[in-house]
Chain A
Amino acid sequence: MSMTTSATIILAAMVAAYLAAKIFKISTELSMLAAALVGGFVGGAGLPARHIAEGAFTYLDICLIFITATLFMNLLKESGGVAFVVRRILKRFHKHKFLLFIMLAVLMLIPGMLTGAGSVTVLIVGGMVATVLGYMGIPKPKAAAIVFVIAGLSAAAPPVSLWAMLTAAGVNMPYVGFFLPLMIPCLVLALLTIFILGWKSKPVDLDQALKELPQPPARMNWAKILLPFLIFFALIIAGRIWPFDFPIMGLPLVFAFAAAITLLLSPVRIDFLEVSRRTVHQLLPLIGTLTCVGVLVQIMTLTGVRGLISVTVVTLPAMVVILTLFLTLPVSESVLMWGAAPVLGVPLVLLFNTMNLNPIIALAGMSIIWPLGDAIPPTAIIGRLTVETVGMKERYSIFLKYCIIPAVLIIIVGTLMVVFSKKLAFLAVF
């Protein structure tokens, strides 16, 4: 039997195992694990314990970043900081729709930027922003679409962009040079989304909105909110300015310091253990996916399936690959979630590299398209979470309908970034 035939049979067995698990209503994470175990068995490796452990380790550092960053954000919310910021923005800018939209979009980008997870944006600020949008006369499905699309963009935005990080790790490319290629499109598209979907809104009913928003503690102020962020950025910048004199702390520890400062400055007493426990529970689907994807990719490598996918993708006509990105990326995200990046992203970046395109810009372009898949069944984790958080009672398809215009814009921008990646290479500076 040739290598290709053997790898194809193993791939078919893995796909069958995944589908069977989904039919039995097993979660996506465990379905991927089932596919990996079946792949190992059919590939003749039995139960490859060493490879399972090896694969589970692949994204350990990223899991730590998620946990510490989300803990930081959750502590900020528990301390009343997020409610304070939303209320202040509303009071200051309620008469200026243009500025209010800009502030709300930027506010929604921050949690996802720092944690790499759109779900954190939805959980930390999504509900409050939806309340404000509701009092501007924006219907709930539209508000949910705004929160979802910006949450997706926030997850793709730097410094922590999971899709870019996972793919870069898969092709042994340092995660450097992504800041501007991710930041510029994410910011511009987030603003376009809120302005397009919120165009027909009316001035906000300030009294009603303030009544519904949570009240921050009396002693909360800007210094208590900004200091943890200042320390966070200072620690990151210090490591870059004085690389030989300042210890390399790594993002998890920097986030942990910022979380500790938030806890110390909080005007209310926070049950730290309970918040930490809830944070880990909240992140279980995400870190579970990362761990299971690590195992899946390891088994795919062991059995030759990863090579088969890579060779198939690399030998496809380039135009076909680029023109179908709008479909393949969101669909792969909806099936494999973040696992789409190492499984599909790696061969795509290798292909673009061989086509003499800039891999950093091309990957950044792909990274902004991927999150759109989080609204598509079967998983639709972030989509469903957004709908629940916003309190939307209408059909899910109405929410999807409102997502179409921003999604089309995102796809166009992402695809153009891939096509013109060489000309945009000047953006990959830091």
Chain B
Amino acid sequence: MKKAILFLLILTLLLPAGALAQDMPHAGAEVVTNFMQSGTYDVGAEQLEAGFEEATGIELEIVASPFVVLVQNNITDLATGTGEFDVISGDFWIGSVWGQMHPLDDFIERDMWGGSFIEGLTKQGPSAYFDGKRIGIPYSADAYGLIYRTDIFEEAGISADWETWDDFIAVLGELEMHLEGTDIAPNVFAFGASEQAAAIFLGMYDSYLVDADGNYALDHDEAIASLNQLKSLLDYNPEGATGLSIDEANSVFLTGKAATMICWVSFVRAAAQDPDASLVVDNWATATFPGPGFPFLSAWNLFISGYSENPEAAWEWIKYYITEDEAKRRFVELGVGSPFLSTYEDPELIEQYSHDFPAMVANLNRAETVPWIFAAFEVFFRHMSEFIIGAATAEETLEATLTDWAELEVPEGLVQSAMAQGQMQEG
């Protein structure tokens, strides 16, 4: 009798534990995930931490670092096989270590996981792939954009329907005439933040970034034309534009001193609609980013490190963090661009962001990443900065860039990304 009671008692104790093990198959596992310390992505993760731990029994550690440190940590962690992080936050900047990432296809297929991602963002480039396998999933999306003053355009009888940079520059000419005698510049851009000008170049440039042999390259004539066109924008910018930082350029627009601004729209969206910070509330809209190039895309992906001891638990975290509801919440509360179409089709949000959403989605659909590692980007933007301040000609800039690029190797993952995005020389 005693034995039977004892058996029943043990059974009673074990049943919930068994059920728990079924509900929480990874309970007790530890996952270390990293994010950029921006007060957005990292805060979004911290807000989910307790709920995730409770729902899965997985112990989550969030490591937030400034951008440069994050990239350094990710590259050294993966290149040396240290395995400090299970879930890695990154994009093409860490393309040199994409080969060390855990493929995600099996997880996605098994769990039939997905969502209403913006079509362009699911392609190779915005989403990270290596050797044909998906290794990263975007959790944010921001495309370089162009915003304009609706009141000024209306007053001048100009429509913001440009397709190319030639069209846009022609509009700037019209604006210049219309704004003559005022202290409003037709355009403003943060030329002083030298790394930013590459985004305009990429919008103007319509050719390869990697040659047929897999080396960093640029088409000579296209590059020269784009550099010169980029510099011509200075004619329509306020005096001293070559020294403007991002915040300073934003301030020029927000104080009503520019009719258009080329920028990361996410950096200025909230402030532009805040009456305490902006003189252009309800008088601005996002426009299509001109071509024939592409809007430069910032799409943070979550990867699972190939050195993770808990890839299953790491995948649980990715599924928990990247959901349509969470993306919408992060967009509304933290200003993080959502990779999901459902955010931009939300009736409530459409009403609030009617001046912003249509062009933003169009830009995101066309947006591309670049196959540049840090060293390649550094070389490019520094030489371009010399050109912008008048210390070098377009020819010298291109020659110096190509000379420095000749020393660099394009990582395999980024060659594949360039090929998939049509950025590779044919032949």
Physical interaction between A and B: no
Residues of B within 8 A of A (CB): none
